Amino acid sequence: MSVINRAIVLILVYSFFPVSASTVWSQEQTPDLQRGIAELRQENFEEAIDSLSRAFEAEPASSQPAYYLGMSYKNLQNYREAKRYFLIAVDRTPKIREIYLELAEVSYQLGELDEAMDILKKAESENVRPGQTAYVKGLVLLAMNRNLDAVESFKKAGASGPELVQAADYQMGLSYLNEGQLDEAEARFNDVISRDPNSDMAVFARNYLDKIPAKKREQIPFRYYLGLHFQYDDNVVLRPDDESAAINISGEEDFLEVVTAGLEFFPKVKGRAGFEGHYSFYYSRHHDLESYDVHNHSVVLVPNYRINNNSKASLALGYGYMLVDDDKYLTTGSISPTYTLLINKSHTMQTYFSYQRKEFLGSPVNSDEDRDADEYSLNFNWVYFFAQDVGSLISFKEKFDLSTFSQNKGYFNFHYRISKEDTDGTNWDNVGSKLTLTTLVPLHEKVKLSVSGDADYRNFKNAHTVYNDERRDISYGLSALLFYRFTKYADVQFLYAYRSYDSNISLYDYERNLFSIGVELRY
């Protein structure tokens, strides 16, 4: 149960289930029992427990001390002790009809939902406070995710009398919200506010109303983005640091424009199965080094299955097609079975295996330089969320996407990858491991900073046919990306990226700096 909804439940419990029982017995009451009831009515719960405990010991056959002890513990939110005494009172005399409703309510608070439903059936058969019984039944059904059944119970509760109408409307709003019926939820929350604008429930209802427009947008199955970036790259051609290896290589720096675009598809699917589709486009145009212009398309299809509310399995199927200088350069195909676990409100873990086939479409210089490859990798990903209450992310009923910046959230991401690349050419066979650390920090409501660093180690299996040495590479990267959201759907982005590539073969040594400023639109 969410913190907000639990607070509302407690408000309602004390509003509609008062500490002083309405049941009146003709049985004579002992001084300790009378004193305990009086303390209970005055909300002196600890003192009430002292007196009622003495009455409980003195009257082992009476239901009254046990019942009032249960009420005292319930008001102290010690639901386990409350339930223990209510169960004792059930088996004693005189018979207390209201006790079934109290038992159902504490069972609900303890999360014992099936037991609460069984007790509520007894309360219904005994016609115990029909409106309040219907209300508690609605709470239990809502906790069981039987949202539309909960709505019917809350309607009965609201029809029983004016004291339950606002509370029932509020809970119906939550039920419709869980079911994705946002217009109905919006109407119910507005009813809550109109009935008593200054009430606590009206405050909570306004909180949910503020979130509904974003949820309506989430129900749209398509997402779009379009970006335009202006960049400066000081080493487009990857000129080696070693001057002897860089003979006849000059003019390596250039300005360029980059266009990015994408379409994401998240169809609404009932049940545990789901599906996602992603298309992305990338185009770079250099001012001077036009032969390095890149034109790339990629498609990823992701069928998935929700194992429970906190975990899912998915299978990502990818295809990529790249042109360089308008010539066909590379095609890729990949498959990645993935398991994702939302551990709690702050931690998410993901592990996946990936296979990718690379086909370079141009002719290599010789067969030893043929980079067509089968690549295998095993990946582990862990995310720690901070800077917000991320309770809304702890369920796969909603889309989970780290690239969504509509909420004030931050995270730290640890990613580790080991890989093996079997190439057709002997010079490129390698095994590698890569560690990437990324953090996103909200600096302001509209400003966020992402910093990322990585280290990539690669050992090549064969002696290089030209340099007669087994190649070993270490690559380090660092980037900082600043987002400024100037409208609801648009960011200005400032990027700096650095890459250092160290190899025991000097031809592959280089450093590179990239500076970028751009605008990205998302809807």
Residues 359, 371 within the same domain: yes
Q: Whose CA is closest to 306, among 344, 339, 337? A: 339
Look up residue 497 and give its amino acid. Answer: A
What's the pTM? 0.68
The mean pLDDT of 491-502, rounded to a whole number, is: 97
64 and 156 fall within a common domain = yes
pLDDT (0 to 100) of residue 117:
95
Distance CA 146, CA 131 (A): 19
Tokens of 334: 């990949």
Q: Are 172 and 164 in contact (CB under 8 A)?
A: no
Kindly indicate the confidence band of residue 13, based on its pLDDT and cuts at 50, 70 and 90: very low
What tens digit of pLDDT does each residue of 453-483 get? 999 999 999 999 999 999 999 999 999 999 9
Say whether both 23 and 88 belong to one domain.
Answer: yes
Region of poorest pLDDT, from 6-10, 91-95, 129-133, 201-205 = 6-10
Residue range 367-385: average pLDDT? 96
Distance CA(497)–CA(449), nearest Å, equals 14
Residues 183 and 315 placed together within one structural domain of the fold: no
Unique residue bearing structure tokens 């086909």: 359
Q: Give the domain-ending residue among 165, 195, 216.
A: 216
Identify the pLDDT of residue 218. Answer: 74
Q: Copy the structure tokens of residue 342.
A: 């939302």
Tokens of 471: 């190649």
What pLDDT shows up at residue 286?
A: 96
What was the pLDDT predicted at 351? 97
**CATH number of the domain bearing residue 496:** 2.40.160.40
Which of 41-55, 121-135, 197-211, 402-416 has the lowest average pLDDT? 402-416
Phi, psi of 355 (to 5 degrees): -120, 135
CB of 299 closer than 8 Å to CB of 252? no
Mean pLDDT, residues 283-307:
95
| The pair of three-digit structure tokens given for residue 118, joined into one six-digit string | 């069984």
Does residue 406 carry a pLDDT above 90?
Answer: no
Residue 386's pLDDT is what? Answer: 84
Q: Which residue has the tokens 């990903």?
A: 381
Q: pLDDT (tens digit, 9 = 90+) per residue, 57-69?
A: 999 889 999 999 9
| 207 and 269 assigned to the same domain | no
Domain stop point among 171, 192, 216: 216
C-alpha span between 129 and 98 (Å, rounded): 8
Number of domains in the chain: 2
pLDDT band at 134 (very low <50, low <70, confident <90, very high): very high
Residues 297 and 316 in one domain: yes
Give the mean pLDDT of 240-268: 77
Least confident stretch, 126-130, 156-160, 217-221: 217-221
Report the C-alpha gap between 227 and 514 in whole angstroms.
17
Does residue 281 sit in the same domain as residue 423?
Answer: yes
For residues 29-37, average pLDDT: 90
More confident residue, 13 or 48: 48
Q: Would the pLDDT of 360 be above 80?
A: yes
Same domain, yes or no, for 212 and 224?
no
**pLDDT-based confidence at 388, cuts 50/70/90?**
low
Specify whether 478 is located in the same domain as 386. yes
Q: Are residues 198 and 254 in the same domain?
A: no
Split at pLDDT 50, 70, 90, the class of 391 is: very low
Lowest average pLDDT, out of 88-92, 144-148, 213-217, 232-236, goes to 213-217
Summarised one tens digit per residue, pLDDT across range 425-450 is 999 999 999 999 999 999 988 999 99
- CATH number for the domain including 143? 1.25.40.10
Q: Residue 499 belongs to what H/E stretch?
A: strand 490-503
Higher pLDDT, 262 or 387: 262
Q: Are residues 154 and 62 in the same domain?
A: yes
In terms of Cβ atoms closer than 10 Å to its own Cβ (0-12, 13-18, 19+), residue 308 is: exposed
Q: pLDDT > 90: what percent of the chain?
A: 73
Residues spanned by the domain of 7: 3-216
Instruction: Determine the pLDDT at residue 21.
Output: 42
Q: Which residues of 143-176 are buried (b: 16+ CB within 10 A; e: fewer)?
A: beebbebbbbbbebbbebeeebbbbbbbbbbbbb
Q: Model confidence over 179-230: pLDDT tens digits?
A: 889 999 999 999 999 999 999 899 999 999 988 887 887 778 888 999 999 9
Instruction: Look at residue 375 and tell me whether its pLDDT is greater than 80.
Output: yes
DSSP state of 468: -
Q: Determine which helix (DSSP H) or strand (DSSP E) holds 137, and give its type and residue range.
A: helix 130-143
Give the pLDDT confidence of 303-345 residue by residue, as tens digits: 999 998 789 999 999 999 999 999 999 999 999 999 999 998 7
Q: Are 490 and 522 in contact (CB under 8 A)?
A: yes
Residues 244 and 210 in one domain: no
Q: What span, in angstroms and rounded, lies between the C-alpha atoms of 187 and 214?
A: 16
Residue 22 has pLDDT above 50, yes or no: no
What mean pLDDT is reported for the chain?
88
The pLDDT of residue 245 is above 50: no
Nearest to 11 by CA among 196, 191, 151: 196
CA–CA separation, 84 and 102 (whole Å): 12
Compute φ and ψ for 499, nearest 5 degrees. -135, 130
Residue that terminates a domain, selected from 185, 216, 247: 216
Residue 399: pLDDT band by 50, 70, 90 thresholds? very low
